């Protein structure tokens, strides 16, 4: 099932007929919210969709499935706790921890992994998307970084939204620039064969001419086409779901640590998903107790 594909299978209730009117809408809500949530954070499917479908289509709920549900709830609660930390403007210590293996023969391309709040009790793993062809980062490198919320409207601490640092900014609105970049970030999850062309589009967006715009990966979409799609669709993204990670200190165009974009889940969506999953858990449990 793709992130945008609405489930068409018939949902069968787990409970007796008197509970069907309650539990089926909860399952449907959980599925719909899960698909939305999956789009927000790359790689964050964390078994919610799979478990919800399995629960909806099965006749009984065994101990193993209960444990899966409890683990899923635990992961979601943890995400809800760390999300405000990731979204707040300020500074953080970063560590670069991994690459995904996709490369253009010279560079590994996004997505990468890193740790925010490195070395503290609030440390959290995040998925990093590079918008910065002009700088470098190495494995296990640790650095101090400014965190800029895309919704903040203040891009003075970013490399490409600050006109005194970015010679290519000109009259471009930095809000629009980074929202287009954020839209490109959202495409990685559903275009795993296009990592290189999407990465080129991110780099070319911030540094025009950095990579060939006629390059295309698996589905034939060229870098130029990705850039045009970003310009046409950036209004679809929620700026509150993105942050920009830029090294601290006096910014220069080159010779520093690469800048990254991080997509974070929206707290409101996470809350809705948690409510749906917990409600399903409680209703099924009550039904089992009554039938025992």
Taking only the tens place, the pLDDT of each residue in 153-170 is 999 999 999 999 999 999
pLDDT confidence of 291, banded at 50, 70, 90? low
- At 48, is the secondary structure helix, strand, or coil? helix
Residue 186 has pLDDT above 70, yes or no: yes
Check residue 51 and give its pLDDT: 39
Q: Rounded CA gap, 42 and 111, in Å?
A: 9
Q: What percent of the chain has pLDDT over 90?
A: 59
Q: What H or E segment, with its residue span, contains residue 40? A: helix 17-40
pLDDT band at 177 (very low <50, low <70, confident <90, very high): very high
What ranges do the domains of the chain cover?
A: 17-83+267-291, 89-263
Q: Which pLDDT belongs to residue 29?
A: 44
User: Contact, 134 vs 254, CB < 8 A?
Assistant: yes
* Cis peptide leading into residue 111 (ω within 30°): yes
* Distant-in-sequence, close-in-space partners of 105: CB < 8 Å, separation ≥ 6: none
Residue pair 57/214 in contact (Cβ under 8 Å)? The answer is: no
In whole numbers, what is the pLDDT of the chain averaged over residues?
A: 78
Instruction: Classify residue 19 as exposed, middle or buried by CB count within 10 Å of its CB (0-12, 13-18, 19+).
Output: middle
Backbone CA torsion sign across 44, 47, 52, 53: positive
247: left (phi over 0), alpha (psi -120 to 50) or beta: beta
What's the pLDDT score for residue 40?
A: 39
Tokens standing for 98? 């991994």
Spatial distance between the Cα atoms of 129 and 261, rounded to a whole number of angstroms: 5
Running DSSP on this structure, what letter comes out for residue 103?
B
To the question of pTM greater than 0.85 for the whole model, the response is: no
Q: What is the DSSP letter of 125?
A: E
């Amino acid at each position: 099932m793709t992130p945008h594909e609405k489930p068409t299978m018939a949902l069968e209730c787990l409970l007796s007929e008197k509970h069907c009117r309650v539990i089926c809408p909860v399952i449907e809500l959980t599925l719909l919210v899960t698909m939305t949530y999956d789009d927000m954070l790359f790689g964050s499917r964390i078994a919610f969709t799979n478990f919800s479908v399995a629960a909806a289509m099965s006749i009984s709920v065994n101990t193993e499935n209960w444990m899966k549900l409890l683990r899923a709830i635990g992961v979601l609660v943890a995400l809800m706790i760390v999300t405000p930390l990731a979204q707040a403007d300020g500074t953080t210590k970063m560590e670069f921890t991994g690459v995904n293996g996709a490369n253009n023969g010279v560079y590994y391309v996004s997505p990468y992994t890193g740790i925010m709040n490195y070395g503290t009790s609030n440390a959290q793993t995040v998925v990093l998307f590079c918008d910065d062809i002009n700088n470098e980062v190495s494995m296990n490198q640790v650095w101090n970084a400014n965190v800029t919320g895309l919704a903040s409207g203040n891009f003075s601490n970013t490399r490409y939204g600050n006109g005194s640092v970015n010679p290519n900014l000109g009259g471009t609105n930095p809000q629009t620039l980074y929202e287009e970049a954020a839209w490109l970030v959202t495409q990685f999850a559903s275009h795993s064969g296009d990592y290189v062309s999407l990465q080129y589009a991110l780099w070319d967006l911030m540094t025009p001419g950095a990579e060939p715009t006629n390059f295309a990966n698996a589905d034939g979409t060229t870098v130029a086409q990705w850039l045009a799609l970003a310009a046409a669709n950036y209004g679809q993204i929620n700026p509150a779901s993105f942050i920009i990670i830029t090294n601290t200190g006096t910014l220069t165009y080159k010779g520093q640590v690469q800048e990254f974009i991080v997509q974070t889940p929206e707290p409101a969506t996470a809350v809705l998903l948690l409510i749906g999953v917990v409600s399903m858990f409680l209703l099924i449990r009550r039904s089992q107790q009554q039938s025992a």
